[in-house]
Amino acid sequence: MIGINRCFWVFALPMLLGCNRSPYELAPVHGTVTVADKPMFQGKVMFGPIAEKDVDYPGKPAFGTIDSEGRYRLTTFQPNDGAVVGEHWATVINVEEDLPDGVPEFARVTFPEKVTVAAGQDNQIDLQFSRETIRKYREDDR
């Protein structure tokens, strides 16, 4: 009976340990969001992976909550685990009506340039928006 138990664990343990892993490589991501040189003091950030050639599904998006000082840290599967390595479109989502003074209203705005999450490092990606960028790239006209 002892031999059967050992045999079970030899095969089952590697499978159990691998169940919580992503099929995609992740790297930590943090940064700040500013609008018109003022910290965005609430909202969410989403990094949506961009599919490479011949890839149908580039991976799960990562999300982070913006704190009162404009800082965020991304989560994909587990808290603060980061985002899929590679290129992303970064989107800021305004979850409330409050915005820094002088900032045009928006519900969601996509950063105009792709951002890259590099493997094997803690990536600091700051998203700096001007008033003009908000007006041009926002997805609604509240």
Q: What is the pLDDT of residues 3-57, one digit of tens each?
A: 565 545 555 544 444 455 557 899 999 999 999 899 998 899 999 999 888 878 8
pLDDT at 5: 57
pLDDT at 116: 98
Positions of E strands within 1-142 = 26-27, 29-35, 38-39, 44-49, 62-65, 71-73, 83-84, 86-93, 108-110, 115-117, 123-124, 127-129
Q: What is the pLDDT of residues 58-80, one digit of tens each?
A: 899 999 999 999 999 999 999 99
pTM score, whole prediction:
0.79
The residue with greater pLDDT, 108 or 1, is 108
Q: Which domains does the chain have, with CATH numbers?
A: 24-137 (2.60.40.1120)
